[in-house]
Amino acid sequence: MQRQLQAFLSHLSGRNDSPRTIRAYGSDLTDFIEFLERRAGARAVRPGDVEPLDIRAWLAELSTRGVKRATIARRVSALRSFYDWMRREGIVETNPAKDVSTPRLERKLPRFLDENDVVRLVESPDDSEFAGARDRAILEMLYATGMRVSELAGLMLDDLHPDENEMRVMGKGSRERWVYFGPRARASVEKYLALRRGRRVRSNALFVNARGTALTDRSVRRVVSRWVKESAVRRKISPHGLRHSFATHLLDRGADLRAIQELLGHASLGTTQRYTHVSTEKMISVYESAQASMKRARGARRAGA
């Protein structure tokens, strides 16, 4: 099956899937093929020989190995995609992974910052010099637009249209969308670009490092993590937390869920709907806080009576 796997990965590359996605598919499917080979011994395993029971046995082994349920679900998804492709190519007649159920995932609510913590975070870098101005522009843009870190790292100078307060973003699956930002983010980016013009830059990327080359995803994550630590915000978040903060604050201010879906670049509204749970949790917290305040006030009145 290794030959079919390499052809499938080439197919993914040809349709411009991200290198990270292709690596994940390769790793997940290689694990499955090696599992089949261990079970078969000296016998060669052909794609059409695989049955649902084989897949369930693989899932049982993954669980025994302590693999997380989210990872198991991702591997089943990769296997379904692999077999769907082989079916379209005429390599197999059916998809044995189609009816194999995946483990139920724990629903985790997104972690986000309150608005005061966001302000504290984005104002932490000293923007009087190049690196600080760049870092502040990165933080402002991530929060103002809800972009993914990978999307921000992939921005080119030509993608930015500051006069219209908008920029073009290439999202997952090569889906293009336009995102919008306010005057604070615009001012931060313009200050960074002014300082950038006096430097030797060897890339057309919007955000570059001290050597003048494009920042990578990892570099952007380091920037965010550094300033989260420096600003000592009360709730520690990952770089993706600024995206969650953007969506949560929009919803709290009455934005339409469909509009938030478009801005985030979610293919499914169901992905965006998890932010309604965050808002509900916040509403309950506010209610309980108000009830506690009322109780304290009643106690104080009785004590003074």
Query: Which fold, 117-278?
Result: hpI Integrase; Chain A (1.10.443)
Cβ distance 273 to 257 under 8 Å? yes
- Pick the catalytic residue from 75, 186, 196, 243: 243
- Pick the catalytic residue from 184, 266, 274, 282: 266
pLDDT value, residue 274: 64
- Pick the catalytic residue from 75, 136, 148, 186: 148
pLDDT value, residue 294: 60
E strand intervals along 97-254: 160-161, 166-170, 176-180
- Pick the catalytic residue from 120, 172, 177, 184: 172
243 is catalytic: yes
What's the rounded Cα separation, in Å, for the pair 44 and 37? 7
Same-fold call for 2-88 versus 117-278: no
Assign 210 to helix, strand or coil: coil
Count of other CB atoms within 10 angstroms of residue 229: 11
Domain segments of the chain as ranges: 2-88, 117-278
E strand intervals along the chain: 160-161, 166-170, 176-180
| Lowest pLDDT segment from 20-34, 100-114, 226-240 | 100-114
pLDDT in tens, 155-190: 999 999 988 889 999 888 788 888 889 999 999 999
What the block records as the tokens of 192 is 């960074």
What's the rounded Cα separation, in Å, for the pair 275 and 110? 7
- Higher per-residue pLDDT: 52 or 113: 52
pLDDT value, residue 243: 83
Mean pLDDT of 85-100: 93
Count of other CB atoms within 10 angstroms of residue 12: 18
> What phi and psi, each to the nearest 5 degrees, are found at residue 260?
-65, -40
Mean pLDDT of 228-251: 79
Query: Which fold, 2-88?
Result: DNA polymerase; domain 1 (1.10.150)
